[in-house]
Amino acid sequence: MDDKPAIEINGLTKSYGRTGVLRGLDLKLDWGEVITILGSNGSGKTTLINIIGSLTKPDSGTVEFGGIGVRARATSIRRFIGVVTHEHLLYEHLTGYENLRFHADLFGISSADERIIIVARQLGVEARLNQLVGTLSHGTQKRIAIARALLHDPPLLIMDEPESGLDQEAQGMLDGVIRQLAESGCTVLTTTHNLDKGTAMSRRIAILREGRIVYDEDLKSSTGADGVKKAYASHSGESM
Amino acid sequence: MKNWFRAAMAIFWKDILLETRTKDMLLAILIFSILVIVIFNFAISPTPKMIGFVAPGILWVAFILGGMFGLTRSFGLEREGGALKGLLLAPVGRDAIFYGKMAAMFTLMMVVEVIVFPVFAVLFNLSLWIPWLIPVAALTTLGIATIGTVFSAIAMNTRAREIMFPLLFLPVAIPTIIAAVETSGVAIRGVELAEMSRWIPFMGAIDAVFLVICPVAFNLIIED
Give per-residue pLDDT as tens, B118-160: 999 999 999 999 999 999 999 999 999 999 999 999 988 887 8
Closest among A200, A232, A237 to A216, alpha carbons compared: A232
| CATH code, A7-86+154-236 | 3.40.50.300
Determine the Cα–Cα distance for residues A213 and A239; give it in Å rounded to an integer.
Answer: 20
Q: pLDDT above 70 covers what percent of chain A? A: 95
Identify the sign of the CA torsion A68, A70, A71, A77.
Answer: positive
Identity of the residue in A55, A107, A108 whose CB atom sits nearest the CB atom of B224: A55
- Please report, as a single letter, which amino acid is at residue A174: L
Which position has the higher pLDDT, B1 or B102?
B102
pLDDT at B123: 93
Q: For residue B50, is pLDDT > 80?
A: yes
Within a 10 A sphere around the Cβ of B90, how many other Cβ atoms? 22
A109 has which bridge partners?
none
Q: Are A87 and A106 in contact (CB under 8 A)?
A: no
Q: For residue B224, is pLDDT > 70?
A: no
Find, in chain B, the residue whose alpha carbon is nearest to that of A102.
Answer: B10
Determine the Cα–Cα distance for residues A216 and A1; give it in Å rounded to an integer.
Answer: 24
Identity of the residue in A89, A106, A107 whose CB atom sits nearest the CB atom of B85: A89
Check A85 against B82: CB less than 8 A apart. Answer: yes
Q: What's CA B125's distance to the chain center, in Å?
A: 25
Strands A204-209 and A34-38: parallel
pLDDT at A198: 83
Question: What's the average model confidence in pLDDT over B62-85?
Answer: 88
HEC assignment per residue over A113-158: HHHHHHHHHHCCCHHHCCCEHHHCCHHHHHHHHHHHHHCCCCCEEE
pLDDT tens-digit map of B3-22: 899 999 999 999 999 999 98
Determine the Cα–Cα distance for residues A236 and A36; give it in Å rounded to an integer.
Answer: 16
Q: Is B128 near chain A, with CB under 8 Å? A: no
Helix axes B2-22, B94-123, angle to 10 degrees: 40
Q: Which residues of A touch B221 (CB under 8 A)?
A: none
Strands A187-192 and A156-160: parallel
Check A105 against B89: CB less than 8 A apart. Answer: no
Check A88 against B10: CB less than 8 A apart. Answer: no
pLDDT at A222: 62
Please tell me what DSSP assigns to residue B81. G
Distance of residue B86 Cα from the nearest chain A Cα, in angstroms: 5
The HSE-up count of residue B27 (CA atoms within 13 Å, CB side) is 6
Determine the Cα–Cα distance for residues B116 and B67; give it in Å rounded to an integer.
Answer: 12
Phi, psi (deg, nearest 5) at residue A216: -150, 105
| Best residue of B3, B4, B14, B23 to probe chain A, by most A CBs closer than 10 Å | B14
Distance of residue A107 Cα from the nearest chain B Cα, in angstroms: 6
Distance of residue B74 Cα from the nearest chain A Cα, in angstroms: 13
Question: What's the average model confidence in pLDDT over B82-111?
Answer: 95
Give the lowest-confidence range in B9-18, B43-52, B102-111. B43-52
Binned at pLDDT 50, 70 and 90, residue A165 comes out as confident
pLDDT at A113: 97
Q: For residue A236, is pLDDT > 70?
A: no
> 76-95 in B: which are within 8 Å (CB) of A?
77, 80-83, 85-93
Within a 10 A sphere around the Cβ of B209, how many other Cβ atoms? 13
Find, in chain A, the residue whose alpha carbon is nearest to that of B89.
Answer: A78
Q: For residue B38, is pLDDT > 70?
A: yes
Q: Which residues of A touch B6 (CB under 8 A)?
A: 105, 108
Strands (E), chain A: 7-16, 19-29, 34-38, 60-65, 68-69, 81-84, 156-160, 187-192, 204-209, 212-218
- Edge-to-edge strands, sheet with A81-84: A81-84, A156-160, A187-192, A34-38, A204-209, A212-218
| Best residue of A93, A95, A137 to probe chain B, by most B CBs closer than 10 Å | A93
Pairs across A and B, CB distance < 8 A: 80
A22 has which bridge partners?
A14
Question: What's the average model confidence in pLDDT over A21-27?
Answer: 96
Check B82 against A87: CB less than 8 A apart. Answer: yes
Identify the sign of the CA torsion B200, B206, B209, B212.
Answer: negative
Distance of residue B11 Cα from the nearest chain A Cα, in angstroms: 8
Determine the Cα–Cα distance for residues B86 and A55; give it in Å rounded to an integer.
Answer: 10
Distance of residue B151 Cα from the nearest chain A Cα, in angstroms: 21
Binned at pLDDT 50, 70 and 90, residue A240 comes out as very low
Distance of residue B90 Cα from the nearest chain A Cα, in angstroms: 6
Q: pLDDT above 70 covers what percent of chain B? A: 100
Check B6 against A83: CB less than 8 A apart. Answer: no
pLDDT at A1: 64
Check B90 against A148: CB less than 8 A apart. Answer: no
Phi, psi (deg, nearest 5) at residue B65: -65, -40
Q: For residue B67, is pLDDT > 70?
A: yes
Taking an 8 Å Cβ-Cβ cutoff, which residues of chain A contact chain B? 50, 53-57, 75-79, 81, 83, 85-94, 98, 102-103, 105-108, 133, 141, 148
pLDDT at B190: 85
Contacts of residue B25, Cβ cutoff 8 Å, sequence gap at least 6 = B19, B69, B70, B73, B74, B108
Determine the Cα–Cα distance for residues A233 and B30; give it in Å rounded to an integer.
Answer: 60
Q: Which residues of A touch B92 (CB under 8 A)?
A: 75, 106
Identity of the residue in B14, B81, B223 whose CB atom sits nearest the CB atom of A89: B81
Q: Which residues of B touch A50 (CB under 8 A)?
A: 224
